Structure 1
Amino acid sequence: MTSLSRITLAVLVAAGAAASTAALAQPAGSQAPLTRAQVQADLVDWLQAGYDPLDWIHYPANAQRAGAIVAQRRAERAAGGQAQMQPQQ
């Protein structure tokens, strides 16, 4: 393999890695980055759901349990908001 083809291959690999990293860094379905207030509100939701960032002994289970609770509460809020918007017959 010539040095030119090695350089070309290295550039292509680096470009692919950079593109995939940038794509994974964006939240799914979001067009804009989160604001500081949104991140702080998200942290409050997690703390209210029982997540303790200092509890490193129970870390995976603690975070997964709190994440499930936060997701359930958000789904209930979204469903509740839609139910209020629909006219009752």
Structure 2
Amino acid sequence: MKTLSRIGLGALLAAVSMSAAMAQSSPRPSDPSAPKTRAEVKADLAEWRAAGYDPLDWINYPHNAQRAARIVAQRHAQQTDGTVTQ
């Protein structure tokens, strides 16, 4: 019986660890305060750069960042709503 209970315990432990691993690898929760992954940060930067933001442009810093933020927000609104805001 000890061998059978050890096998059962091992199977239960393996199932729990697999479910925990699957929960961690699932897509980000909708919690905006959750930390972003490196890939998400890189994707955000690429999106901002496509909207015209240049992180090396220190002279026009607040204005170019605000303009790019508005463009990115409009694009996100278009994707979620399906409407065009201009």
The two structures have a TM-score, normalised by structure 2, of: 0.57
CA distance in 1, matches of 2:49, 2:71: 11
- AA aligned to 2:38 is R
Within-5 A mapping of 1:1-89: 29-80=31-82
Deviation, 1:32, is 2.2
CA distance in 2, matches of 1:31, 1:50: 26
CA distance in 2, matches of 1:64, 1:33: 23
Deviation, 1:38, is 0.6
| Aligned residue pair count | 52
Structure 1 gap segments, 5+ residues each: 1-28, 81-89
Q: 1:7-51: CA deviations, max 9, x gaps?
A: xxxxxxxxxxxxxxxxxxxxxx52521111110110010000000
Partner of 2:21: none
Identity score, percent? 63
Which one has a bigger Cα radius of gyration? 2
CA distance in 2, matches of 1:31, 1:37: 17
Higher share of residues assigned helix: 1
Runs of 4+ in 1 over 6 A off after TM superposition: none
